[in-house]
Amino acid sequence: MKQQILESCQKWGADLVGFAPIARFPECSAVHKLMPEAKTVIGLGFRVLRGAYRGIEEGSTYYQYTTMGVENMEETVMPMVSLRLSMLLEEEGYLALPQRRHQQIMAQENSTNPEVAFDAIYRNRPQETQMDFNEAAVLCGLGEIGFHGALLTEEFGPFVRTCFVLTDAEIEPTPVKTPHLCDGCRECVKGCPGKAIAEDGTLDPWQCAVYYNGANGLKNPFMPPDAFADFENRLAIISGEAKVDPETARKILKNIYFYPPAQHAYPCSICGRACDVRCYIHLEEKGALTKHFRTPFRKREEWKFKIEDFES
Ligand code: SF4
Ligand code: SF4
């Protein structure tokens, strides 16, 4: 059964597959409520194309990361594999319940998900409506959690997305990885164009949403010179120095339209997940990743516009 799952998922396009017995999950974990009879959680990891990040790295193409690295992965590729795996399990007489991240549901009352338009999010949902995807990925042996909260895998570093299948089949577990990738270098913190990651690694989701959407003009080739004209601190916003609260963030986000959004409420990422990119470059440079490429990710010095270009 395990071998059949591994071979099938690989054939369908999953890059990583891991198995966690339900006993590995703490009592408070949502997986127990989602499927009380579950015995195993199957984790599926999918690489996000390095080429999709490279477009933003070079400033040459932006929407491919959002459409091919986020939207199509979450809405098409990953659900398809988890559905096929679930069908395989049910064909064998077991129950199967696929778990994809619902991008528009948040447990916290006043938080947000940078990958989704803030006004399309349903907040204050009970914790048990959605499992903790990073916790599940670690318990399934797919990787470890880095300093800034992203899943890091040996193969693709942070360039990876996950979904899961809960089943009442008992399957031999995958060992949990001993964390060894994150060395605390803080490149992820330094890489964010909006200072959304604090020195202790905590992410401010509203600050992230503003700068994920391109509020830093020094890293945004689509921003006009008179951007944010109605904001007193427009130069602080544009240089990535502004500290925003949720209310200000909403106001800024309403004034952001640099690129057409993808479907399913996914706005175009202008930062290109610079935190993950910096982490990836660091892990690649120190030879920590097992998937190698013929050329390094970063090929030249990072480009930046000048704040003077926005002074009027
Ligand atoms: S950039 Fe450095 S500190 Fe941040 S997650 Fe990666 S390895 Fe850890
Ligand atoms: S680099 Fe982008 S995704 Fe990462 S924390 Fe900053 S704004 Fe958010």
Query: If you average pLDDT over residues 231-253, what whole number do you get?
Result: 93
Highest mean pLDDT among 256-260, 263-267, 279-283: 279-283
Q: Map out the domains of the chain as residue ranges.
A: 2-167, 187-310
Ligand 1 atom with the smallest distance to the CA of 278 is: 1
The residue whose CA is least distant from atom 2 of ligand 1 is 185
Instruction: Between 151 and 258, name the one with better pLDDT.
Output: 151
Q: What is the pLDDT of residue 287?
A: 96
Query: If you average pLDDT over residues 76-90, what whole number do you get?
Result: 97
Q: What is the pLDDT of residue 143?
A: 98
Q: What is the pLDDT of residues 24-39, one digit of tens each?
A: 999 989 999 999 999 9
CA pair distance 175, 161, nearest whole angstrom: 20
Q: What is the pLDDT of residues 132-151, one digit of tens each?
A: 999 999 999 999 999 999 99
Residue 260 has pLDDT above 80, yes or no: no
Q: Among 111-125, 193-207, 280-294, which stretch is predicted with the lowest mean pLDDT?
A: 111-125
Q: What is the pLDDT of residues 91-124, one digit of tens each?
A: 999 999 999 988 888 888 888 899 988 888 888 7
Residue 129 has pLDDT above 90, yes or no: no
Beta carbon of 182 within 6 Å of any ligand 1 atom: yes
Give distance in angstroms: CA of 147 to centre of ligand 2: 13
For residue 182, give the ligand nearest its CA.
1
Residue 262 has pLDDT above 70, yes or no: no
CA pair distance 86, 151, nearest whole angstrom: 24
Ligand 2 atom with the smallest distance to the CA of 211 is: 7
For residue 153, give the ligand nearest its CA.
1
Give distance in angstroms: CA of 148 to centre of ligand 2: 10
Q: What is the pLDDT of residue 21?
A: 98
